[in-house]
Amino acid sequence: MRGPHNIWRLIRTGATFERTGAMRVALEAMDAPPTLRLAARVLGWPFQWLGLKGDESVPPVTRALTALGPAYIKFGQILSTRPDVVGSELADQLKVLQDKLPPFSVEEAKREVAKELERPVEELFSEFSEPVAAASIAQVHKAVLADTGEAVAVKVLRPGIERAFRKDIDAFYLIAQTVSLFAPGARRLRPIDVIEHFEGVVMGELDLRLEASAANEFADSTAKDEGFGVPSVHWDLSARRVMTLSWAEGLPMHDVAAIKAAGFDTNLLGTRVLQLFLNQALRDGYFHADMHQGNLKVNAAGEIIALDFGIMGRIDEYTRRVYAEILMGFIRKDYRRVAEVHFEAGYVPADRDIDLFAQALRSVGEPIFGMDASRISMARLLAYLFEVTERFGMETRTELILLQRTMVVVEGVARSLNPHINIWEVAQPIVGDYIAQNVGPKALLRDLNATVRVLAKFGPKLPQLAEDALIRQTALGTPPPKVARFPGWAWFALGAATASAVGLAASLL
């Protein structure tokens, strides 16, 4: 489908961006090369009359994406998580992109539900409301189960949305390929990689079984978190195009006045939302990556309830340890240790000067720690940190970019509840506890235990694996590695240490 028939979409997109002024803003934000800016201007200006006008009351890029429709709105949302691609200022604009579209009729929604669940809606639900929320991909209805009377939220994909998105994604690929072909300098922006990332995210969101699975996994991982809840999944009423969750009643997190009027402690809620996120990211390595006020509620018991699990983040255990050590290093103002962690993790090339890097990190930390408590920002620290590490040759790490973006959002939520919150004081016990459990002797014993378990599985095969490796090496004409001649005392010490380690690990099994 990525062929000449998409040229009209390319022209319409470019014309809309030119007409709304979004073209200039977007290219400047991405620091596009002059040749690309000139080409876009020359090619776009004659056709701008073909572009959509959009809502003149919103910023240019948001205006253009909203006018072009659902796929473009979703593309803007996803780009808001990639400040490394579009720049921090544009990412902030896209972050507030209104993902609201006119809803489709309740009759169409019922037909989709009946088709997916293979039963009449009236048989499943005693009540099925008009849409309570409508977004670019799906809309939500409040319903009541016919057999139990439980209130539920039924999310339904827009009719024909899959085909519409595939057509637009094909157009996006054509745009990316055109940019790469006619503006080689823009290849550093990785336009095709960006579209591939977008396609992967959207294709996942177009199968609501995956979002139901994410909600279920998130509920399991946070089940013991006090003051936090996730709606439960009704698997028997969920399918590829329909998802049913228990209904979450509560006050929206953005209505701070109503939360205060209900008697809830907003300072406590601000602390809780930040610590919950840090626990999810560090302890579980699985976090809600879209924790803005619209996806959070406060129920009658004062619990924070999370909604919408289309965008979730994962970071592996090693990256979590690195991230925690970096944060704790800044909390302790141990800039040398922060620098060492970056080098140990391979984030910064080994040929760079570690002392100069530590000095640069000090220039990041000290101004922030000198601020009033109400202005101290972990999000700002991470943004400055990425600027410094980029100057020292650190490559972009997508998982950390998503973590940083979510940290910005969560910090904003916390400050809306408590403008004077001290981010570092709130973060320190969570980060400190994680460090104590995962960096040091306890972590070493746990890692050793895991290693012994793996070796135990392959123990009987190890001699054969070693022999096969030597045979392959000999066949390739490479002499086997020379074994160092250790003095007798060294062999004894090595054997004793190994025996002690294995014995200690075995006792933990």
| Lowest-pLDDT range of 22-26, 307-311, 458-462 | 458-462
Question: Per-residue pLDDT tens for 39-54?
Answer: 667 666 777 777 788 8
Range name among 94-98, 125-129, 302-306, 392-396 with the lowest pLDDT average:
94-98
pLDDT, residue 488, reads 46
CA distance 61 to 307: 27
Helix (H, G, I), strand (E, B) or coil at 329: helix
φ and ψ at 87, to 5 degrees? 85, 155
Residue 242: pLDDT band by 50, 70, 90 thresholds? very high
The two structure tokens encoding residue 283? 């302890």
Q: Is there a contact between 165 and 73 (Cβ–Cβ < 8 Å)?
A: no
So what's the pLDDT on residue 302? 94
Please return the burial class of 492, using the count of CB atoms within 10 Å of its CB with bins 0-12, 13-18 and 19+: exposed
Is residue 378's pLDDT more than 80?
no
Interval 235-256 mean pLDDT: 95
Residue 484 in this model has a pLDDT that exceeds 50: no
Q: Is 290 designated active site?
A: yes
Whether 185 shows a pLDDT value over 80: the answer reads: no
Q: Catalytic: which of 84, 168, 170, 290?
A: 290
d(CA 477, CA 384): 51
User: Pick the residue with more confidence: 17 or 299?
Assistant: 299
Q: Residue 385 — φ and ψ, nearest 5°?
A: -60, -45
Q: pLDDT of 408-451, one tens digit each?
A: 788 888 988 998 888 878 888 888 888 888 776 666 666 566 66
Q: Is the pLDDT of residue 373 over 70?
A: no
Please, are residues 156 and 145 in contact by the beta-carbon 8 Å criterion? no
Task: Specify the pTM.
Answer: 0.73
